[in-house]
Amino acid sequence: ELSYRFRDPSRGEIIVFRSPVDPSSCYIKRIIGLPGETVEIKDGVVKIYTEQGAIVLNEKSYLPEDIKTPGNLKISLEKDQYFVLGDNRTRSYDSRKFGPLPKENIIGRVYLRAWPLYLSAKIEAPVY
């Protein structure tokens, strides 16, 4: 829970957070959009609009090539809001459903996958 007391969450990091709809439930998702950005999902492609311009996310390091992000939306994030997506894009309950995630709901960053044991590994955020 200390990981974000000293710095803000970054794009690509996997986080644990309280649901904005039901605070008694926690979820694990990947940060896609940061405060002040606009996230667009169209034709299976995730595009981020920043002050520097638009970027198309290269998600090949964590999504199989045949996985496309379903949905069509465009959402602008306010101060202290994040856009999160699950890596299981076709079945994930994420910001496409519940909207922007307030920073105050973030519990912390996921550093380690511990189960199942044969898949245990340190989790690194991708470089976009």
Task: Give the separation between CA 29 and CA 110, rounded to whole angstroms.
Answer: 9
What is the value of pTM for the model shown?
0.84
The pLDDT value recorded for residue 58 is 75
Does 8 map to a domain? no
Q: Helix, strand, or coil here: 73?
A: strand
The pLDDT value recorded for residue 95 is 96
The secondary structure of 37-64 as a DSSP string is: -EEEEETBEEEEEETTEEEE---TTTS-
List residues bridging with 109 in a β-sheet. Answer: 15
Identify the CATH number of the domain in which residue 86 sits: 2.10.109.10
Task: Give the separation between CA 92 and CA 80, rounded to whole angstroms.
Answer: 22
Reported as a single tens digit per residue, the pLDDT across 85-110 is 998 888 889 999 999 999 999 998 87
Count up the domains in the chain and report the number: 1
The pLDDT value recorded for residue 61 is 67
Does 9 map to a domain? no
The pLDDT value recorded for residue 56 is 85
Range of the domain at 71: 14-122
pLDDT along the chain (128 residues), means of 10: 73 93 93 97 92 84 73 94 92 93 91 60 65
